């Protein structure tokens, strides 16, 4: 499972600083969220809203790369970066559901997954003292979801459905009706997300089992 995990920075190299270049990039991405919501629901400028969301999504990898390459990985950054990623996903999926372009079950799954991971992470920290390492596939899941949301917000381009007879309405794209390209990016992100979610559950079980054996 180690090959599945991202390379981590040694604890002694992690900075206890707030104002670093990577953290500033992450703060800017965070500030884009209210701008996105205002453009989408206040000013009714969907194209401008999509541009803001796409920029926030596409710069997901920038803060992490800058932090590692400039040796500015910080405690705040390790907390803030994944938090902003999850906020971008949550805000994006809620906005698209409000617009009626995404099935409700996607929202339920993503919010439920994050609640389980948050609660499980707190439990792991209070018992084992650490959580499973971040895996690289999670970045792919985030990228697929964010870009899928951007295309769904744009409402284009349309692609033919797979034409499967009797496909349920809650699986857009599988029936004969055309759908948006974005839904297929969302499906790809969900496959990656479920894989990562199962990995975290298995890894957490292994870590807790090892911790209990050591205490026995």
Structural domain including 93 reads 2-215
What does the alpha-carbon distance between residue 137 and residue 190 come to, in Å, rounded to a whole number? 11
SS3 for 135? strand
Q: What is the pLDDT of residue 93?
A: 93
Q: Look at the chain and report how many structural domains it folds into.
A: 1
Per the listing, tokens 């090892």 go with 210
Torsion 105-45-35-84 (CA) sign: positive
* pLDDT computed for residue 22 by the predictor: 79
DSSP-derived letter for residue 74 is B
pLDDT at 7: 54
36 CB-contact burial (10 Å; exposed 0-12 / middle 13-18 / buried 19+):
buried
Token pair listed for 118: 């948050």
Bridge partners of 158?
Answer: 180
CATH number at 176 reads 1.20.120
pTM of the model: 0.84
CA distance 103 to 169: 9
What's residue 15's pLDDT?
Answer: 64
User: Can you give the pLDDT of all 216 residues of the chain as single tens digits?
Assistant: 554 555 555 554 566 677 788 788 889 989 999 999 999 999 999 899 999 998 888 777 777 777 777 777 777 777 787 788 889 889 999 999 999 999 999 999 999 999 998 889 889 888 888 888 778 898 899 889 988 998 998 887 889 999 887 888 899 999 989 899 999 999 999 999 999 999 999 999 999 999 999 887
pLDDT score of 51: 92
Which residues neighbour 107 within 8 Å (Cβ) at sequence distance 6 or greater?
93, 94, 97
Output phi, psi for 158, to 5 deg. Answer: -85, 140
């Amino acid at each position: 499972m180690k090959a599945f995990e991202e390379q981590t920075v040694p604890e002694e190299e992690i900075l206890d600083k707030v104002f670093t270049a990577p953290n500033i990039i992450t703060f800017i991405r965070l500030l884009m969220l209210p701008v996105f919501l205002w453009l989408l629901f206040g000013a009714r400028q969907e194209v401008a809203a999509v541009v803001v969301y796409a920029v926030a999504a596409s710069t997901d990898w920038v803060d992490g790369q800058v932090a590692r390459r400039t040796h500015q990985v910080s405690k705040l950054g390790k907390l803030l970066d994944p938090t902003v990623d999850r906020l971008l996903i949550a805000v994006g999926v809620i906005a698209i559901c409000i617009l009626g372009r995404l099935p409700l079950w996607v929202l339920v799954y993503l919010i439920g997954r994050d609640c389980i991971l948050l609660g499980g992470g707190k439990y792991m920290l209070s018992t084992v003292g650490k959580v499973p390492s971040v895996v690289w596939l999670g970045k792919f899941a985030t990228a697929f979801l964010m870009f899928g949301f951007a295309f769904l917000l744009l409402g284009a381009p349309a692609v033919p459905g797979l034409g499967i007879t009797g496909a349920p309405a809650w699986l857009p794209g599988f029936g004969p009706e055309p759908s948006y390209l974005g839904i297929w990016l969302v499906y790809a992100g969900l496959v990656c997300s479920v894989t990562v979610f199962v990995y975290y559950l298995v890894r957490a079980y292994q870590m807790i089992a090892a911790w209990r054996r050591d205490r026995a």
